[in-house]
Amino acid sequence: MAVYTEVSDEHLEAFLTEYDIGEMLSLKGIAEGVENSNFLLHTTSGSYILTLYEKRVDPRDLPYFIGLMEHLSEQGFDCPLPIHGKDGKSLRQLCGRPAAIISFLEGMSPRRIQPFHCRSLGAALARMHLASGSFDMSRPNTLSISSWRPLFDLSKDRAHEVLPGLAEELDGELTILEARWPENLPTGVIHADLFTDNVFFLGQDLSGVIDFYFACNDAFAYDLAICLNAWCFEPDTSFNITKAQMMLKSYRELRPCTEAEVEALPILARGSAMRFLLTRLYDWLNHPEGAFVKPKDPIEYWKKLQFHQRVNGPSAYGIDL
Ligand SMILES: Nc1ncnc2c1ncn2[C@@H]1O[C@H](COP(=O)(O)OP(=O)(O)O)[C@@H](O)[C@H]1O
Ligand SMILES: N[C@@H](CCOP(=O)(O)O)C(=O)O
């Protein structure tokens, strides 16, 4: 459960007087997520999500995330809508943290990923990339390649506690990524954390996307690489080429990729595996006392990274130019 900050009834009741969403009925901490404190809020007018923004979220970026959700909703893309208070604002403070209430999205994240989930995901990702083309705010990727070595430096002395020799392996891999990282790929707004727990389905239909708190402006193909890692490996970390093929095909039907994007996929997939490995490694080694959170396994991403190190080209993902 990710709850870093507890919210008392008195604080919540005072907070809710700023909104026109009825009286509080219940508030329950949510057992998923690792970044922010999330609560399911029931009021006399319905269900909502209350989020208190924690650790990696810079409060100065919140207008971008909130604005993006509003923009995507306006474009007909299914995602939560921030709720405005009586003063028109959707961001305020609660228990010393920046906080917002967003609409509740119906559906569930899939437990066992099937190829049809990957097909719907590819199409949704392309629609998101296209719909955000008219969004006029911009935010650099604070977890892009330039941040990886400083992040690694915070964990390298203790990386052996997770796996002997890991620090040396990651040092070498970072050197390769820094030398080969592609520049000048088509860019735009990317989700940057489109894992299975951030995509909801109702039956077989994708009902929406949540958690835009890593969204930023970066290469579209990097978002595809993140999804390859998050959706196309089996629980035993074997790669499922059918899932990759379906995701990439449905994406390219709506947003055709350039040759450079297709060719860059293997290195982008290595980089994306490195990015999640490093944040997981840091979180594994630095567990905040008293927080209800289950850290995610860094080794899963080390195995995925090793897969991408071995691939010969984009055909390993079931696609060609
Ligand atoms: N708008 C929403 N509608 C329904 N459930 C949500 C919504 N936002 C978050 N949740 C629930 O809260 C969980 C954690 O949210 P998430 O945004 O992924 O956390 P974090 O901010 O820590 O990354 C999700 O897995 C989901 O169960
Ligand atoms: N997806 C990241 C962790 C952060 O995402 P959340 O949606 O679970 O809060 C990972 O798997 O490392």
Q: Does the beta carbon of 197 lie inside 6 Å of ligand 2?
A: yes
- Residue where a domain stops, chosen among 47, 82, 103: 103
Residue 209 belongs to a domain = yes
Distance of CA 260 from the midpoint of ligand 1 (Å)? 34
Could you give the ipTM of this predicted complex?
0.93
Q: In the numeric block, which tokens belong to residue 131?
A: 């719909």
Same domain? 156 vs 213: yes
Same domain? 97 vs 120: no
Same domain? 83 vs 152: no
Domain hosting 183: range is: 115-317
Which of 3, 36, 38, 66 has most ligand 1 atoms within 8 Å of CB, for mutation?
38
Same domain? 64 vs 123: no
Q: What is the pLDDT of residue 34?
A: 77
- Residue where a domain stops, chosen among 103, 126, 152: 103
Same domain? 159 vs 194: yes
Same domain? 63 vs 132: no
3-state secondary structure string across the chain: CCECCCCCHHHHHHHHCCCCCCCEEEEEECCCCCCCEEEEEEECCEEEEEEECCCCCCHHHHHHHHHHHHHHHHCCCCCCCECCCCCCCCCEEECCEEEEEEECCCCECCCCCCHHHHHHHHHHHHHHHHHHHHCCCCCECCCCHHHHHHHHHHHHHHHHHCCCCHHHHHHHHHHHHHHHCCCCCCEEEECCCCCHHHEEEECCEEEEECCCCCCEEEEHHHHHHHHHHHHCECCCCCECHHHHHHHHHHHHHHCCCCHHHHHHHHHHHHHHHHHHHHHHHHHHHCCCCCCECCCCCHHHHHHHHHHHHHCCCHHHHCCCC
Q: Does the beta carbon of 38 lie inside 6 Å of ligand 1?
A: yes
Residue 4 belongs to a domain = no
Phi, psi of 18 (to 5 degrees): -80, -10
Q: Does the beta carbon of 173 lie inside 6 Å of ligand 2?
A: no
Q: Does the beta carbon of 304 lie inside 6 Å of ligand 2?
A: no
**8 Å CB contact between 222 and 268:** yes
Q: Does the beta carbon of 69 lie inside 6 Å of ligand 1?
A: no
**8 Å CB contact between 238 and 279:** no
Output the residue whose Cα is nearest ligand 2's atom 9.
Answer: 33
Q: How many domains does the chain have?
A: 2
Q: Does the beta carbon of 105 lie inside 6 Å of ligand 1?
A: yes
Residue 236 belongs to a domain = yes
Report the C-alpha gap between 118 and 116 in whole angstroms.
5
Q: Does the beta carbon of 211 lie inside 6 Å of ligand 1?
A: yes
- Residue where a domain stops, chosen among 34, 69, 103: 103
**8 Å CB contact between 269 and 319:** no
Q: Does the beta carbon of 35 lie inside 6 Å of ligand 2?
A: yes
Residue 109 belongs to a domain = no
User: Residue 28 belongs to a domain with what CATH number?
Assistant: 3.30.200.20
Q: Does the beta carbon of 32 lie inside 6 Å of ligand 1?
A: yes
Q: What is the pLDDT of residue 125?
A: 98
Report the C-alpha gap between 303 and 313 in whole angstroms.
18
Same domain? 99 vs 121: no
State the ligand closest to the CA atom of 38: 1
Same domain? 123 vs 188: yes
Same domain? 85 vs 139: no
Q: What is the pLDDT of residue 292?
A: 66
Q: Does the beta carbon of 36 lie inside 6 Å of ligand 2?
A: no
Residue 108 belongs to a domain = no
Residue 310 belongs to a domain = yes
User: What atom in ligand 2 is closest to the CA of residue 283?
Assistant: 12
User: What atom in ligand 2 is closest to the CA of residue 35?
Assistant: 9
Report the C-alpha gap between 105 and 72 in whole angstroms.
14
pTM of the model: 0.94
Same domain? 172 vs 208: yes
Distance of CA 53 from the midpoint of ligand 1 (Å)? 12
Same domain? 154 vs 269: yes
Same domain? 87 vs 119: no
Q: pLDDT tens string for the chain (321 positions)? A: 477 888 999 999 999 999 999 999 999 999 887 789 999 999 999 999 999 998 779 999 999 999 999 999 999 999 999 999 999 999 999 999 999 999 999 999 999 999 999 999 999 999 999 999 999 999 999 999 999 999 999 999 999 999 999 999 999 999 999 999 999 999 999 999 999 999 999 999 999 999 999 999 999 999 999 999 999 999 999 999 999 999 999 999 999 999 999 999 999 999 999 999 999 999 999 987 766 677 899 999 999 999 999 999 999 999 877
User: Residue 256 belongs to a domain with what CATH number?
Assistant: 3.90.1200.10
